[in-house]
Structure 1
Amino acid sequence: MLLVRGLQVRRGGSDILRDIDFHAHSGRIHVVLGASGSGKSTLLRSLVGLVPTPSRTRADLMQLRVPAGDFDLTSSRRLADVRGVHIGLVGQDPALDLTPLRRVASIVRETTAGHAEVADVLERCGLPSGRDIERKYCFQLSGGMAQRLALGLATARGPELLLADEPSTALDAISRARLAEHLRAAADEGSAVVLVTHDVGLARLLADDVTVLADGEIVETGPARRVLDEPVAEATRLLVRPRAPRARPRPARAPVRLDALDVTGLHAGWDGHAVLRDLSLRIGAGEVVGLAGRSGAGKSTLVACLTGLLAPDGGTIRIGGLDSATTSWRRLRREVQLVPQDPRGSLNPWRPIADQIRDPLDVHRVGRRAERSARVDELLDRVGLSGHGGRRPGALSTGQCQRAAIARALALRPRLLIADEPVTALDTALRADILELFAEIIAGDQMSALIISHDLHVLEYLGDRVAVLDDGHIIEDLAAQSIRVDARAPLTAELLAALPPLVGNDSPEVVRAR
């Protein structure tokens, strides 16, 4: 089906990929694993001619063999004939891949070119059919809904080769299980599926074959069971058997009269569509609350309200006792800061990270110039980026970008830190480092935090409590250490049941007990 020999991608004077030999067969799922920066996504983009300039791509052979003929994938003319017809592509960020100002129905009709009905495509990818969803603009979809739509569009015309780049990143455990079913169904229908992921649990669930990349080279390849259960290369062992994070320090909280966050009866939505309905949530001083929920439950809308990006339609938000209805958001933003979901995308690619960490201090005129510079140096050292302040985001790994985003959020010493999917974009080898960093910062500053994640493992580790959001309101609020025992809501049970097995040997209970 797909044959690649001697693939090389160069950017500047560096090799991004070197001497790649790769294949994918009909009816099988070939998973490409690797740490951040290993070249996984570049490999996938090279198959469809989407490697960004000024990179140069060459290959001894890159061919797609299908009943309609053999297609040379090194030829831009031939690629135009196969993309969207014989090759389906699901990008890493569907919110960027889907035109934001197009309605769902319009983009489905254009992509399928009349080969499938809109309702059939929506049903196939697990989205509700009907006028409400069809008339939505793509920017109004949650991350999980956009990902499911992108997958439905990629498979609508029955491509012989399906390429998926980190498709589970924005999905909750339930949607992730549906994604796995969708990818397996595509393979069972005869497609060759190439799945790029850092999700080792998803690889164990789906892979027939596995290729592991490290520093632009293939370090291991073979049948999935052999590679994942009996890894030979050190890079593979680090991915499939990562260390667990150290136990989270939990110092006693000093008695403080003011809650960090008190939300009561919150109502909010977009363009007349209600998303949050009578939501109430309290976070005490020094307390960490995890927020879970399926895609589209309203997590992103809540973050927008708590950071002043969306005005609520009703209810009250108090941060450190300050009412958002009577206090300016310029003042409130000194009390609440956000670590966004996409660490690289949240940073300006053209500016050194030290300047970006300094921005909140400059905007709020905190201290003198020398004091601001000293604070930036202190933060860079604290997040493990000492000596990297002069670098731009493009010169940093994904994990380093996440550390820079954390440093920027800490600059003003906020009362409340909001972290949106803090480890979703990270491979298994980096997760423990970032989780430990969050735990150390929260404990050291006795800071309150709202941690939003699809991964209940993360919330069990970092949280004191876990709240579950569904259909715009909190349906359950439990102690993190007992959520598996005390959960009563059907959705909570469903999220727990759909959790992938932990990679490695450590459960959250074992980690906490160390």
Structure 2
Amino acid sequence: MTSDTVLKVRALGVDAVGPDGTHPIVTSFGLDLSAGETIGIVGESGSGKTMTARAIMGLLPGSLVARGEVEYDGRNLLELSEREWSHVRGREIGLVLQDPFTMLNPVFRCGRIIEESLIWEGRRRPPRSERRAEVNRRLAEVGLTDPSVADRYPFQLSGGMRQRVAVAASLARDPKILIADEPTTALDVTTQKEMLTLLRGVQKSRGMSVVLITHDLRVAFAMCDRVYVMYGGSLIEVAPGSDLETKPLHPYTQGLLLAEPSVDRRVAELPSIPGSVPKARETTGCCAFATRCEWVTDQCRQGPPPLIEVADLRYSACVRLPEISSDMAAKRARIDVVEAPVRDVRAERPLIDIRDLRKEFRVGQRTVHALAGVSLQVNQGESVAVVGESGSGKTTLARTLLGLERCTSGDIMIDGIPAHDWSRLSAADLRRLRGTVQMVFQDPYASLNPMRSIGSALSEAIRSHESATKHASGAVADLLKTVGLPASYAQRRPSALSGGERQRVAIARALAVNPRLLVCDEPVSALDVSVRAQIINLFATLQRERGVGFVFITHDLSMLRQITERVCIMYRGRLVESGPVDQILDHPTDPYTIKLLRSIPRSDADWIDAPVSTEV
């Protein structure tokens, strides 16, 4: 703690109180935040990041209670009444959430949302013209210079514009501290970079302190002065961002770093951390990471390790660090030199042949050209990525390919069957197409029936293709084994699984009909970095061992080199560039492709301020 510390957190814990007793959600967390400083809190889902932020803001639900100390301006915020909190939230500490719809009232226009957040110190509410001028000034501060934005409802804005309005509302009362909880996770790479640049610029102009919660380590390294790593409700490592990137001092942090896909090279298999994050109450008597650590010994199970200073400005909660630090460094060195060649997939006839595909939608009096003459071929066993921002036509292309949308014009051939209009196909052709192409959606929880067991869902998929199957239970077990899950998971429901496990089940269901191609719509964008690595490795295994091909719909360019042989770039319904993955990533020619690649998160601070605007 220094003289310019604006927020001090000590022994912060969050407990769930219920009929069966009290259970910890966050065991112990502490931080010191200086004026104008940015700190990052990173970790997988379930680590306690968001609960920590909500505890600091006094926004925990009624079933949770916070303990410890959150000192701001000489007061412990945990002791404030709700009336006292009203003078702290927004005025002193602002909050930006991942989903702007959570923050923005959908029945209010954006101007009113910001206006109601403003403070008119020492005087009555000013005239409408003055209020409107102040709203426009606040919108301009976050890059929204069009005055008409104030008259629009949140649903009339793009995701990036909604997030900018949310930031403007959070800054309306000029807080000294801004807590940003995953503010860019759901955004495209270009919009993400614009938002991060915006936050950095506003922070510098105001001298504001920022707490950035993220599971993207590259974003944390680029934005943050110091990074706090959480796992299983515990704080396990603290370090300056640059030091943490080059030399992690906890096995969990190293596992996260190694699981990040490399933009520059392709590896045969991405390193991943086995298993999933345990609940805090399951690890109260040992190191939280003990169940997933390759260096675990009995010493790690003899009690929760303390977070201690292990080097200058470096803190770690690993009791075996002096013994294993050299092994950790050796593992990083081995992985840094491993590369794998790109597979050469050729065929006499493409499995998928799309010619001059067009799709138009009527929006009021307007005609939107979602697809404007797209032509694309995919060979048997090939992995092709279709990349672009939201609104580029990626998902429309996938839905048209699967018969979920009918194209306006153009031709689609799937394994020699005309498939531009599935409603006109014979029952035999429909059966053949559904056995050829299947889809994996972004949100596995939304695509699985929460009331049915995993075994029931997979059995239904098997019998829909092979109605005479008598031994569905054996086939279910085989499917689960294929995607790396035990047969016992057939008895569970989706709510009992982690996000990565649910996505594995969704993939297993798609594999039930033995398809030759999987169309995957943002299949890993909602997953943590380590779980994402597990799923990417699973895709590679399916391609290698079963000859399954893939069409990946994605805006995450960082994983392209790991999972695809060919990349197609879409912009406003058009295919603007395509080619081998190495050619596209290393030598792009289209201005839009160059803009996308410049927006890929990098761990150096210069990336935030580097321009990406290119005429397209």
TM-score by length of 2: 0.70
Aligned CA distance change for structure 1 residues 78 and 14 (closer, same or farther; 3 Å): same
Deviation at 1:135, TM superposition (A): 4.4
Secondary structure of 1:478 counterpart: strand
Secondary structure of 1:170 counterpart: coil
Deviation per residue, 1:237-287 (Å, 9 max, x gap): 222344765257977658464532525231334624515241413232322
Secondary structure of 2:551 counterpart: strand
2 CA distance for matches of 1:126 and 1:279?
Answer: 33
Q: In the alignment, residue 113 of structure 1 is paired with which amino acid? A: E
Matches within 5 A, 1:45-444: 45-52=54-61, 54=63, 56-65=64-73, 71-72=77-78, 75-94=81-100, 102=107, 106-113=109-116, 115=118, 123-126=140-143, 129=146, 135=152, 138=155, 143-188=159-204, 189-242=206-259, 245-246=267-268, 255=347, 257=349, 259-262=351-354, 264-269=356-361, 271=363, 272=366, 274-286=368-380, 287-320=382-415, 321-327=417-423, 331=430, 335-361=436-462, 364=464, 366-368=466-468, 370-386=470-486, 387-444=488-545
Q: In the alignment, residue 30 of structure 2 is paired with which amino acid? A: D
Task: Report percent identity of matched pairs.
Answer: 33
Deviation per residue, 1:397-423 (Å, 9 max, x gap): 332232223223323333432223333
Deviation per residue, 1:431-487 (Å, 9 max, x gap): 332211111113333233221222323122212211111122111112112113442
Aligned CA distance change for structure 1 residues 493 and 255 (closer, same or farther; 3 Å): closer
Match of 1:31 among 40, 57, 69: 40
Conserved 8 A contact 1:269-1:301 = no
2 CA distance for matches of 1:252 and 1:8?
Answer: 53
Conserved 8 A contact 2:565-2:580 = yes
Instruction: Tell me whether 211-220 or 412-421 shows the greater mean CA deviation.
Output: 412-421
Conserved 8 A contact 2:372-2:574 = yes
1 CA distance for matches of 2:103 and 2:437?
Answer: 31
Q: Which runs of 5+ in 2 are unaligned?
A: 1-5, 119-131, 262-266, 270-339, 605-616
Aligned CA distance change for structure 1 residues 249 and 406 (closer, same or farther; 3 Å): farther
Q: In the alignment, residue 360 of structure 2 is paired with which amino acid? A: A
Conserved 8 A contact 1:39-1:216 = yes
Aligned CA distance change for structure 1 residues 233 and 142 (closer, same or farther; 3 Å): same
Query: What corresponds to 2:129 in structure 1?
Result: none
Query: What corresponds to 2:15 in structure 1?
Result: 10
Aligned CA distance change for structure 1 residues 199 and 352 (closer, same or farther; 3 Å): same
2 CA distance for matches of 1:348 and 1:137?
Answer: 30
Q: Which runs of 5+ in 1 are unaligned?
A: 504-514
Deviation at 1:63, TM superposition (A): 4.3
Query: What corresponds to 1:509 in structure 2?
Result: none
Conserved 8 A contact 1:71-1:78 = no
Deviation per residue, 1:353-392 (Å, 9 max, x gap): 3334445446x36334644433322221111111323333
- State the structure with more CA Rg: 2
Conserved 8 A contact 2:358-2:369 = no
Conserved 8 A contact 2:516-2:547 = no
State the superposition RMSD in angstroms: 3.6
TM-score by length of 1: 0.83
Question: How many residue pairs get matched?
Answer: 495
Secondary structure of 1:267 counterpart: strand
Instruction: Tell me whether 199-208 or 84-93 shows the greater mean CA deviation.
Output: 84-93
Instruction: Tell me whether 79-88 or 31-40 shows the greater mean CA deviation.
Output: 79-88
